[in-house]
Structure 1
């Protein structure tokens, strides 16, 4: 039996998936704008680490069972393959030339998260076996950039982002409850203000490329000691920012909760939308002084549209084709009355963690 969903976690995912979409829209805005660049850096310090931490928490119940492994394939691997083919087709249509790397082994753009999440979930029974895995994951994150980056299956990112997932795996519900206290909210505001301040001139001590966590120290132009110190500081900032976002997340159910329920649908769908906007140059006409604000408005519209039930239902044939096929077959077996009922959209964030 599926456990009851926590609106607080869905609300957090709604905030974070909106930040993901906003970050990607900001990246394709034309021109060079100080506000856009600053906002982009501040968002990237927090949004994926927080998303990964929540994903780790929701993966605590994953087991190497047939049901959980099947769910992993249908909700992560199959959509990864489908959207890789879709995005690769768009790339070919726009660029007109093929890539040299095997497309399924080299995650296309934002699809790295699905590849990394699959690896993390597969390893989660080992990663949660002992609390010693938390400091070990930090060591892996700090030392893995001493080797050349590995694009295959987003392995480099999976290793460098690993601590957030492992911390989520070991987080207890009673610990997270402390984030809802008023004092935690005050500290959360201060943490986000501090992140805004330290990212005001990120290039003076790092660069935006550091935030992607997919390069070696050598490629970033840093020696090992400097690289470890810089990554350590970023890890602390990202963890503090992640907890800050959770502390400021509303706990009550609202209209925005549905966006969190459909966070994976929005994540997958926005890759096609943002790539189409970039390829078509749809945002190039935005006035320089208004580009950032307009980009944020576009981001909100994209999130709202992709999370809307009339869009979610047909899009499910791409985001969860196996589940959509099973529901259609069940509806046909049960007759017109069952088929007339709306099909519930997929909740891959719950499976198999909340199975």
Structure 2
């Protein structure tokens, strides 16, 4: 019997291709189970690449932080150093905080994000607060310096602030006017000396508007700052800021730029806190925009260092404070000359650059980004899904 002619002698038309799996006869004659449709290989999702613009911005901001700390001992004897110090302090931390807010946009109370907040912010705060306290006891011959997690010392205030800001992120997403509200809180904090020093809440509240701005920024806002018109307008703006700071240097205290005290604590009338907070906010917003205008968008030799800026930030503090404790700026008077000031600036930039490098990150990852899986409860749903996958 052939399969081509029909029993009636008519030729059959070819069958259409099968759309469903069919049973196939095996050599033993028993039908084989329908073959499962083959799945196409789905490529694994690619890891999201880092935007070089933000890594470049973070690196340049952290270099300015280190430079500012190196200029602080020079400001008493140099009006130019004081002016440059005031200008840099107007925008370098606000720029860093805006970026921190921008990358906190997706934060919610999801388990994995809370765990990361603890391991990457809370744990480093505890470790470095204790380390800084012991360092001060030893280097400054101050055995009575307290170890208190409620009173951040030197650079650790930023970790406390970031922890609090990030926890409040869901709240800022539901209020109608988040930036004006944050600015009003900052202004009220500047006239409230009773807030005290616990958790450095003055800084937490007075820098809050920049974090909230970052939460609501979009990529196109940074692209707008990169326009040619903004870039060239930033040059006379920076020049004007420097001239203004040179004029203001002997007339006002740079403590206003730290945002860590109320107006009354700075010896000013209470109403000046409202005015200065609003004025400094405007100046910082303008200079942060000018700073972003000149940040390179492409990959550069220092782009890779942007991932290690928190390492450079916390580690350079030991040298910044040690140089004061050990009297380097008193013993070497040539550091107070123009050539010495340039040398100090370059040394600070070089040191913080080294501290941001991948080898340093690997060496201190145990303190900055610990895994700590042992510290958290396992999610029963995750365990059930893992068992289902294994089966």
List runs of 5+ in structure 2 lacking aligned partners: 1-44, 376-391
Distance 1:166 1:306 in 2: 29
Distance 1:301 1:291 in 2: 15
- Greater length-normalized contact order (CA 8 Å, ≥ 6 residues apart): 1
Query: Out of 59, 65, 80, which is 2:125 matched to?
Result: 80
Q: Which residue of 2 aligns with 1:285?
A: 332
**TM score, norm. by length of structure 2:** 0.78
Q: Which residue of 2 aligns with 1:308?
A: 357
The reply on whether 1:200 has 2:246 as its aligned counterpart is yes
The reply on whether 1:253 has 2:253 as its aligned counterpart is no
- Is contact 1:128-1:166 (8 Å) kept? no
Deviates more, 1:58-67 or 1:186-195: 186-195
Distance 2:76 2:271 in 1: 35
Deviates more, 1:301-310 or 1:28-37: 28-37
Distance 1:291 1:59 in 2: 40
- Is contact 2:129-2:149 (8 Å) kept? yes
Alignment of 1:15-26 (within 5 A): 15-26=60-71
The reply on whether 1:10 has 2:59 as its aligned counterpart is no
Q: Which residue of 1 aligns with 2:134?
A: 89
The structure with the larger Rg is 2
Q: Root-mean-square deviation (CA), in Å?
A: 2.1
Q: Which residue of 1 aligns with 2:105?
A: 60
The reply on whether 1:229 has 2:275 as its aligned counterpart is yes
Deviates more, 1:111-120 or 1:272-281: 272-281
- Residue 63 of structure 1 aligns to a residue whose secondary structure is coil
Distance 2:221 2:108 in 1: 23
The reply on whether 1:181 has 2:230 as its aligned counterpart is no
Query: Out of 202, 216, 222, which is 2:262 matched to?
Result: 216
Distance 1:174 1:129 in 2: 22
List runs of 5+ in structure 1 lacking aligned partners: 327-355
Alignment of 1:314-353 (within 5 A): 314-322=363-371
Pairwise CA distance, 1:88: 0.6
Number of paired residues? 325
Pairwise CA distance, 1:304: 1.9
The reply on whether 1:46 has 2:91 as its aligned counterpart is yes
Deviates more, 1:287-296 or 1:55-64: 287-296
The reply on whether 1:120 has 2:169 as its aligned counterpart is no
